[in-house]
Amino acid sequence: MATGKIMIVDDDTNICELLRLYIEKEGFETVIANDGETALKLFEQAEPDLLLLDIMLPGLDGWQVCREIRKSSTCPIIMLTAKGEVFDRVLGLELGADDYVVKPFETKEVIARINAVLRRSANAGGHKNETKEVTYENLSINLTNYELKVNGVQIDTPPKEMELIYHLASNPNRVFTRDQLLDEVWGFDYYGDSRTVDVHVKRLREKLEGVSDKWALKTVWGVGYKFEVKE
């Protein structure tokens, strides 16, 4: 039986109640908010292990809520998006969401994604006594503390971006396909598509562009990406 606390944020009370029933059946506690401002207040009080966050909310929308939470928390966020709205999903990922579920959804799929994201989050830090860090000129990637430092200055970086750059930099000059990265960074049970990888690489490039001429985050056209290190 699962344990932990899930926060559900949706202005549709029927959806909230349906999700609550299924999530609590899995053994989780639940907290519910029906608008963005209430969500932010409850988030601070409840300290959930994962947030299910609808985009279309009265007052503060889901994007604004996600942005505010990411200023101070790495709590996993799964966005609830309208069917076929690719822009919604991409923007959510750019703001630091970990996954998304498209409405209308099957409750079993939501449960599967909750478990998958929590599993990835729990495994990301590795063993407590193990420091997971790689360094290059003007760059330090510490996955144990989730710290990215460029020229000695810590750069705010969402968890999934950290995991992606750590994975690439830990395997210098190895080319990864998008599917391999989805499998190895997001997990085999991730339901997303390759656009997810592209969004995260784009954000990382904005942080790392021109930092050093001895390494670079490179696109291998028609294949995928690599962290290129010059001999």
**Token pair belonging to 79:** 């966005």
Interval 63-80: pLDDT, tens: 899 989 988 888 899 988
Beta bridge partners of residue 105, listed in sequence order: none
Residues 6+ apart with CB under 8 A from 48: 4, 5, 6, 7, 31, 75
- Beta-carbon count within 10 A of 66 CB: 25
**Residue 92 and residue 63 in contact, taking contact as beta carbons nearer than 8 Å:** yes
pLDDT score for 127: 40
Q: Which of the four pLDDT bands, split at 50, 70 and 90, describes residue 188?
A: low
Please state whether 81 falls in left (phi above 0), alpha (psi between -120 and 50) or beta: beta
| Domains of the chain and CATH, by start | 5-124 (3.40.50.2300), 133-229 (1.10.10.10)
Q: Which of the four pLDDT bands, split at 50, 70 and 90, describes residue 191?
A: low
Interval 143-184: pLDDT, tens: 878 889 999 999 988 888 899 999 999 999 999 998 888 888
Distance CA 157, CA 10 (A): 26
- Decide: residue 3, CB within 10 A, 0-12 exposed, 13-18 middle, 19+ buried: exposed
Least confident piece of the model among 32-36, 50-54, 123-127, 169-173: 123-127
